[in-house]
Amino acid sequence: MSAANGIRAKNDKRLDEVQSLLEANAHLNDTERLEELLSKLSMYFNILSDEDRDYVQAARYAIDEQVDWSK
């Protein structure tokens, strides 16, 4: 596996975890794990797909504005 593929695989796992946490509305109570994941994803923002970048930005908005993700 090349380094780029390894990074993509790790980012995919991080994005999956972000999605799980948001769907559980974890960001309304404790944002520590989400902040950690978003920080790591931000380091690779330039290699994320447009869709993944949009999702990271939406996650950031949900945390900042305390948006209920289930609505």
What string of pLDDT tens digits covers the 71 residues of the chain? Answer: 688 788 999 999 999 999 999 999 999 998 999 999 999 999 999 999 999 999 999 999 999 999 999 87
Contact 56, 12 (CB under 8 A): no
pTM, 2 dp: 0.91
Contact 31, 66 (CB under 8 A): no
User: How far is 15 from 66, CA to CA, in rounded Å?
Assistant: 19
User: How far is 34 from 37, CA to CA, in rounded Å?
Assistant: 5
Q: Which two tokens stand for residue 55?
A: 């999702």
